[in-house]
Amino acid sequence: MDSAIQIAPSSATADSKQPPKTDGRPVSILIAALGGEGGGVLCEWLVDAATSAGFPVQGTSIPGVAQRTGATTYYVEISPLAQNELQGRHPIFSLTPVPGTVELVIASELLETARVLQAGFVDPIHTTLISSVSRTLTTLEKMAMGDGRLDSEELKATAREFSAEFISFDMQAEAKKAQTVVSAVLFGALAGSGKLPFSREFCEAAIRAQGKGVAQSLAGFARGFEACLAARAALAAGPAEALASGATSMRPALPARLSLALERFPNEALDVLTTALSRLIDYQDESYARLYLERIESVRVLSESLAASVSQRAELVREAGRFLALWMMFDDVIRVAELKTRATRFARVRDEVRAHPGDIVQIADYFKPRLEELLGILPVRLGRLVAAWAEGVQRIIGRPLELALALRTDSILGFIALRLVAACKPLRPRGARYEQEQVRIGDWLRALHDCSALGILPAQEIALCARLIKGYGATNARAHENLERIIATLASPAALAQWRDGAALARALASARQAALADPEGRALDRDIERHGARARPLAERPIKLIRRARA
């Protein structure tokens, strides 16, 4: 049932900055947030501000569960006229929003915006939609072997299409700058939307009246208010002016020798290659970055020898460069220890928990590295000896050797322990894991060059197959096994001799890659490549453990 207030039009109140509504409908506001973001506090602020301003109001809520596993929904209706203008009449409000009639919808996260759209609460004629462009990834998005993220640009395009006005900015970033929760920024955006029948001062008074975290909440409110006004001004100015006002991205500075070498590469690939070189220097050193540049230079030379368009050649260099860099920055215990002891990490943690100057923040890190990960930093021969010893011990005790640690990174001993591991960084190139990864990278690059004999399309698909390599531990091992199986079956010299059509080979490689991404266990991949004559993968050995039944 739609809600309405049966009253005659009247003039705006002295405190109102908006003209009065003439259709008798209340100002209807739907708030979509996530658990833990302070949506309940926001609803209270809104109700308190309206009450203080003299406007009848009603708020209802549907609480969700904590964090990303559930949404929280709040619905508020505010009379368009103050109580003293109603002449003793009392408005009747609705307890729940009615699809197609909500005037103002605000969401703290882009996917939550899509959920409200899907539910039909946003109307292309009546509804102003305000959304944060930030994302809090769902569990399914994180679990995907490939890039499981939903396309944010598509979500924003849908929001623009199905709303009368779409206002968006990064609310999480504004909340972080103000060192507060996002609910304060949401409140500021509501006030800046121009849809509330009372002024900003009543909103700020409601925040002060609560008496908790007032300074931070007011700062977040102000940032949300100004960001909303700026977004509305950009919409009014048009797309050209909005684009001109945006900040341009800055490329990281590189050593002169590396910067000079990049001049040979296509412009379309420079953003990826520049970022990759900067991060590889941080990961290891400049010598390691030069190794990357030598490898991607061979891909560039190969691309120029192929009969393809300029955009296709640039795309090959760009994608090969992207996944080569990610592969060369493989996770190991040295990298983990280094990242966990950086000053920026401690500053980020203090910022996330909103610690004040002088507050003591304790950080406990939990580690459970596999034996293979620990042996990977040892020299090859020593690693093999220790691995043989560990295998014998595991056979005797009947279970794998595991190391579970809980280190207080904020303590002197815990910090020193991790720094000692991080100090092994110069020794990484002598380790067994490093040698193993470089051999695998070499095999992949050889397959890329071999496939190019049938055209640029199969070469591009082999380059994209490197996206399978990710994760650590058993996940990383399965990823390598799947990639090696694709190369051996479809892109080895013996397999390539059976192909005459490069486009057909490219389709087979793409299908195999998608199957591997869809099923991390590799069963979908096995079914896919068996169509091309591959033998079934041998069953993996799994120990059988017999347990004696207890006597009754």
The CA-CA-CA angle for residues 471, 335, 372, to 5°, reads 60
> Which pLDDT value is given to residue 1?
36
> Which pLDDT value is given to residue 404?
79
Counting DSSP H helices and E strands in the chain, the numbers are 24, 8
Query: How many C-beta neighbours within 10 Å does residue 179 have?
Result: 16
We find that the CATH architecture of domain 27-244 is 3-Layer(aba) Sandwich (3.40)
Q: Give me the residues paired with residue 4 across strands.
A: 92
Handedness of CA 174, 178, 182, 187 (dihedral sign): negative
> Which pLDDT value is given to residue 250?
56
> Which pLDDT value is given to residue 247?
39
pLDDT tens-digit series, residues 258-289: 999 999 999 999 999 999 999 999 999 999 99
Query: How many C-beta neighbours within 10 Å does residue 70 have?
Result: 12
> Which pLDDT value is given to residue 385?
84
> Which pLDDT value is given to residue 425?
94
**Is the whole-model pTM more than 0.85?**
no
> Which pLDDT value is given to residue 459?
95
Residue 309 DSSP one-character state: -
> Which pLDDT value is given to residue 169?
93
Q: According to the 3-state scheme, what is the secondary structure of 481-542? A: HHHHHHHHHHHCHHHHCCCCCHHHHHHHHHHHHHHHHHCCCCHHHHHHHHHHCCCCCCCCCC
> Which pLDDT value is given to residue 16?
37
Per domain, the residue ranges of the chain are 27-244, 441-536
User: Left if phi > 0, otherwise alpha if psi is -120 to 50, otherwise beta: which for 253?
Assistant: beta
> Which pLDDT value is given to residue 541?
65
Q: 479, 471 in Cβ contact below 8 A?
A: yes
Residue 298 half-sphere exposure toward CB, CA atoms < 13 A: 16
Of 29, 14, 319, 34, residue with least CA distance to 171: 34
Q: How much of the chain exceeds pLDDT 70, in percent?
A: 88
Residues in the chain with pLDDT < 50? 1-20, 22, 66-69, 239-249
The residue to which tokens 């390691």 are assigned: 288
Of 159, 163, 196, residue with least CA distance to 48: 196
